[in-house]
Amino acid sequence: MSSAHIPSIARRLLLLAMLALPLAGCGHKTDEAWQLTDIAGVMPDLQFNLTNDLGQPVTAAAYKGDVVLLYFGYTHCPDVCPTTMQLMASVVGELGPAAKDVRILFVSVDPRRDTPAILRAYTQAFSPNAVGLTGTLAQIDAITRRYRVAFSYGKPDKFGNYAVDHSAGVYIFGPSGRIRLLASDTNPPSAWLHDLRQLIAERS
Ligand code: NI
């Protein structure tokens, strides 16, 4: 089984469409240069109502003050999810002590299979800074609509296994919960590191 992710051409078109939107309410200083894609103002602030990987209800308020890397995927994903999680884990690890203010939130688009316990084992295998989030199908629909994340289920094989096509972008929120950057596994670790350090510096 292979997971056919949204083709990169479609991702690029989506990105272009997003960049065409006016950058309203863009409050950051003009001398800041970003190496990832600046999407400040083109997506809503961090907000959700989900269940964490300990099985507890959680909202964005739990991560107030943290720099948040929000990613959507599923634990059975054979390719882009593990690649992206590994990249984020490695970059966050390189931040050293500053990593304490950074959270990787992995939202499952496959809540029927991704129980909190499965998500916990999956995310902790990558990074102590990673948290798995799941919820009802209605809750997952709400957050994916909010961030315009596309996903669809493939036909199950004779064993009941199925792939889930999904967008593979990472939404990065500043400490105030505002959307700031869009990244993916195509961005080099140096770009992630540079921009995360800049966002963490905004905390003080
Ligand atoms: Ni995936």
* Number of domains comprising the chain: 1
Spacing, Cα 14 to ligand 1 middle (Å): 18
* CATH number of the domain residue 136 falls in: 3.40.30.10
Spacing, Cα 78 to ligand 1 middle (Å): 7
pLDDT digits (tens, 9 = 90+) for 67-122: 999 999 999 999 999 999 999 999 999 999 999 999 999 999 999 999 999 999 99
Q: How far is CA 64 from the centre of its chain?
A: 16
What does the mean pLDDT of the chain come to?
Answer: 89
- Residue 60 DSSP one-character state: G
Cα–Cα dist 200/102, whole Å: 8
Q: What is the DSSP string of 95-163?
A: TGGGGGGEEEEEEES-TTT--HHHHHHHHHHH-TTEEEEE--HHHHHHHHHHTT--EEEPPP-TTS---
Q: Give me the mean pLDDT over the 179-194 stretch.
A: 97
Spacing, Cα 201 to ligand 1 middle (Å): 31
Domain boundaries, position 57 = 3-201
Q: Give me the mean pLDDT over the 22-31 stretch.
A: 48
